[in-house]
């Protein structure tokens, strides 16, 4: 099993876009029992990947409760690095 941060990045290798909620839904089965598997930690991982130019913000959306969702997708550089180092 990949470390959580790697598993998060691996989701983006196809060019799809995800927000924190979508990332958590996709990884819940494998990582749901991990202490670091919570919205703030997942968002921190996404923001760190953005700061390192692996991901970029792709769009924003407000849900019915008025909560902001920030979506990310891999940059060209990010897809190359994910494929090279994660698989």
pLDDT digits (tens, 9 = 90+) for 7-28: 999 999 999 999 999 999 999 9
pLDDT digits (tens, 9 = 90+) for 31-60: 999 998 999 999 999 999 999 999 999 999
pLDDT of residue 87: 79
Q: Which CATH number fits domain 4-85: 3.40.30.10, 1.10.10.10, 3.40.190.170, 2.60.34.10?
A: 1.10.10.10
Selection from 78, 71, 70 nearest residue 53 by Cα? 78
How far apart, in whole angstroms, are the C-alpha atoms of residue 7 and residue 17? 15
């Amino acid at each position: 099993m990949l470390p959580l941060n790697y598993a998060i990045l691996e989701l983006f290798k196809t060019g799809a876009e995800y927000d924190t909620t979508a990332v958590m839904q996709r990884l819940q089965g494998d990582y749901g029992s991990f202490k670091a598997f919570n919205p703030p930690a997942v968002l921190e991982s996404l923001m760190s990947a953005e700061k390192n130019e692996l991901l970029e913000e792709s769009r924003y959306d407000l849900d019915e409760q008025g909560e902001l969702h920030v979506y990310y997708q891999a940059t060209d550089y990010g897809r190359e690095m994910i494929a090279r180092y994660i698989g």
